[in-house]
Structure 1
Amino acid sequence: MFEFISENRDQFKVKRMCDLFGVSKSGFYAWLGRPVSGRKQYDQELKSVIEERHQGFRRAYGAARLHKDLCRLGYACSRRRVRRLMCEMGIKASTCGLYQWRPGLHEFYSATGNLLGRESSPEQPGVQWAGDFTYIRTGKGCLYHAVVLDLYSRKVVGWSFAKQRSAEFAMSALRMALSRERISAGCIFHSDQGIEYAAHDYRELVETSGLQRSMSRKGDPLDNATVESYFHTLKAELVHLVSFKDRIEAVAKIVEYIEFYNRERLHSQIGYTMPEERSRLCA
């Protein structure tokens, strides 16, 4: 009795769904009993291979590379088909979404240009400056450290620290440099393409201070090699040898190191003299 009622109820549901979708009951049951098409079977085979290859390449491959990989293995498929199957499986390249396309951003950066690439090495302090920042791990979280270097003396002329990245954090280092050092007319200030250095407030500070803005080419850290070299030296000689318990200790140790770097450390790029001494000799 209960089986009969249940069967009638199921039949009623099927009929109602068929009416809603505008199909016949016979068509529905014909579709239900129809074997899986060859295309669907091939899709399932491709999905199995895609999942295996995607995992094998550390999830780094997207549709384009997986398509090429499948073709090398002898599977006939299009890139669009691979992309569709990846979407159905919910997998994507591990780098997907890390970098976003922003219309006009390239023009925004390239409008500044790399002035250092067209200039010779400076012959006195205050002619070419460069800035950048890095982060340092401590027992109580990361500490961001920004600096401004004079490219003639290699002296650290300004620095700042912060818990978070921001334009104000980068501006503090430049303000310190401007308050401590004199600059020549048209002094170049070079940085990478970080958003902190491209911010309107930072650009305004650079321009109102009489500096010329210069920016590295996209993805080319060698354009700002002097500052990168300073950070490498700082980490090799201090950061990697010490475990900072908190940000306060890190700031104290780094400021102490900057004083050593400027006043006592022999710098190979300036004839094994100290940055402070080289700057003073040229005064």
Structure 2
Amino acid sequence: MSATRRRFSQEFKDELCREVITTSKAVKTVAEEYGVGAETLRGWLKKYRAEHATGEPEGDLTLDERARLRELERENRELRTEAAFLKKAAGVLREGATIVAKYEFIDSYAREPGAPSIARMCVWLAVSRSGFYHWRGRPLSATATRRAALTSRIRYFFDASDQTYGYRRIHADLTAEGTECSPELVRQIMRDEGLVACQPRPFRTTTLADREAAEGMPDLVQRAFTADRPGRKFVGDITYIPSWQGFIYLATVIDCYSKKVVGWSIADHMRTELVEDALRNAVATTQIEPGAIFHSDRGSVYTSADYRALVARLGMRSSMGRTGVCWDNAMAESFFSALKNERVYRTVYATKQQARRDVINYIEGFYNSRRRHSALGYQYPNDVHYSYRQLALAA
């Protein structure tokens, strides 16, 4: 009696053919796993490839050819990975780059998702793998430890200044606390750490002059914004502060000796009373010598009869620069530039009251008491102003 011939569905035949093609297993191996004859499976495979030639690009390849194709694909992936790595490592591939710089790059890049192995990165950058592991495992050198500590202090002073200090003022803070370093080192560390102080905006002329009233008014300062003692020479100006409820206006009086804002006034108008209040506040907080100079621009409030009469009653002399020439009142303009650049332009005020509080906080809580002034050898205005008075009393 002849043996019953086994029958297989077309789905079963196709499944075995796909397994041979996709897994690259030998035909004999697959045939044994499923209990079919090897020659039978070869016949099915030949027919399957003929029917699916367009869908199987590897259909006419031998097993060795398919293996070689997979090897080429792997090498291609490695080359792409190497190219991407070397592109990011361009900074440490330049002439003069140190071995330590390459180690540092490998150490940082290894933390990224999908990063290549340490061994491959060391090969690509032509450094020793054992040298890398030795470098990563050793303690920080004295120089690296000091630099890390200095970076921490620089970041502290930068944040304490509300990110307004450049490297010179931060160097002055470090010197004041007894930390020795060069200004250039501070600048380098700030650049490496991305610590960039806020930048000023361009000047725009806003003065509305009363030419008739100011006719013949002298410029007693001539851009010499210094004095040999407090109470001898003052400058003043007005600016506006925006809020969602509208503008508020700030008038200031600044002593040319100490650069301290000795008088200020804030209101929601720009009438003569604004500048009068600022000058009266200055009289209440600091000593003003007879014949002291008060210098301003030629704005209508400063050229008004009421204001000039107040200056005369206080025994002061009026001085004015030219209209629209910011350098003639550069010291007052410089303060407003600092105020707006360091605080106002970086803040949104919902109410006038909020704007008023913040401006007062800047003047009294930061500028006068904690902001180092370059024209004072990076000292604080309050310290310079009151130290002169103390020396005068002691004498």
Alignment match of 1:153 (pick from 258, 277, 288): 258
Residue of structure 2 in register with 1:185 after alignment: 290
Segments of 5+ residues of structure 1 without an aligned counterpart are: 1-98
Q: Is residue 109 from structure 1 mapped to residue 207 from structure 2 by the alignment?
A: no
Tell me how far apart the structure 2 counterparts of residues 164 and 106 of structure 1 sit (CA, whole Å). 22
Letter in 1 for 2:264: W
1:53-96, Cα deviation, whole Å (9 max, x unpaired): xxxxxxxxxxxxxxxxxxxxxxxxxxxxxxxxxxxxxxxxxxxx
Question: Do the aligned partners of 2:213 and 2:304 also contact (CA within 8 Å) in 1?
Answer: no
Under a length normalisation based on structure 1, what TM-score does the superposition of the two structures give?
A: 0.61
Which one of the candidate residues 323, 334, 350 is aligned to 1:229? 334
Structure 2 residue 288 is the aligned partner of structure 1 residue 162? no
Contact 2:233 2:292 in 1 (8 A): yes
Give 1:36's aligned residue: none
Q: Match of 1:212?
A: 317
Unaligned runs of 5+ in 2: 1-206, 390-395
Q: Which runs of 4+ in 1 moved over 2 A?
A: 105-108, 118-121
Kindly tell me: are residues 197 and 266 of structure 1, through their superposed partners in 2, closer, same or farther at Cα, counting changes over 3 Å? same
Counterpart secondary structure, 1:158: strand
Q: Which has the higher contact order (CA 8 A, sep 6+)?
A: 1
**After alignment, is 119-128 or 260-269 more displaced?**
119-128
Which SS does the other structure have where 2:350 is aligned?
A: coil
> Offset at 1:238?
0.6
Instruction: Give the C-alpha shift of residue 119 in structure 1.
Output: 6.1
CA distance in 2, matches of 1:266, 1:120: 17
- 1:68-147 equivalent positions in 2, closer than 5 A: 106=211, 108-117=213-222, 121-147=226-252
| Structure of greater Rg | 2
Q: Secondary structure at the match of 1:195?
A: coil
- Please name the residue that 2:370 is paired with: 264
C-alpha RMSD of the superposition: 2.1
Q: Is 1:244 matched up with 2:369?
A: no
| Separation of aligned partners in 1, 2:259 and 2:334 | 10
Instruction: Quote the sequence identity (%).
Output: 39
Instruction: Tell me the CA shift for residue 117 of structure 1.
Output: 1.2
- Deviation of residue 221 (structure 1)? 1.3
Measure how far apart 1:193 and its partner are.
Answer: 0.4
Provide the secondary structure at the position in 2 that maps to 1:117.
coil
Structure 1 residues 254 and 199, CA, compared in 2 at 3 Å: closer, same or farther?
same
Matched residues, number: 183
Amino acid aligned to 2:322: R
Measure, in 1, the Cα distance between the counterparts of 2:240 and 2:225. Answer: 31
Does the aligned pair in 1 maintain the 2:223–2:329 contact within 8 Å?
no
- Distance in 2 (CA, whole Å) between partners of 1:279 and 1:122 is 12
1:195 to 278, 292, 300: 300
TM-score scaled by length of structure 2: 0.44
Q: CA deviation at 1:110?
A: 3.3
User: CA–CA distance in 1 between the matches of 2:211 and 2:318?
Assistant: 16
Q: Any idea what SS the aligned residue of 2:358 has?
A: helix
Which residue pairs with 2:384 in the alignment?
Answer: 278
CA pair 118-267 structure 1, distance change in 2 beyond 3 A: closer
- The residue type equivalent to 2:329 in the other structure is N
Distance 2:223 2:359 in 1: 33
SS at 2:312 equivalent:
helix
Corresponding residue number in structure 2 for 1:85: none
Contact 2:225 2:331 in 1 (8 A): no
Output the CA distance in 2 between the equivalents of 1:118 and 1:239: 27
Distance 1:106-1:138 versus aligned 2 partners, 3 A rule: closer
Q: In the superposition, relative to structure 1, how do residues 117 and 282 fare at CA in structure 2: closer, same or farther (>3 Å)?
A: same
* Residue number in structure 1 paired with 2:360: 255
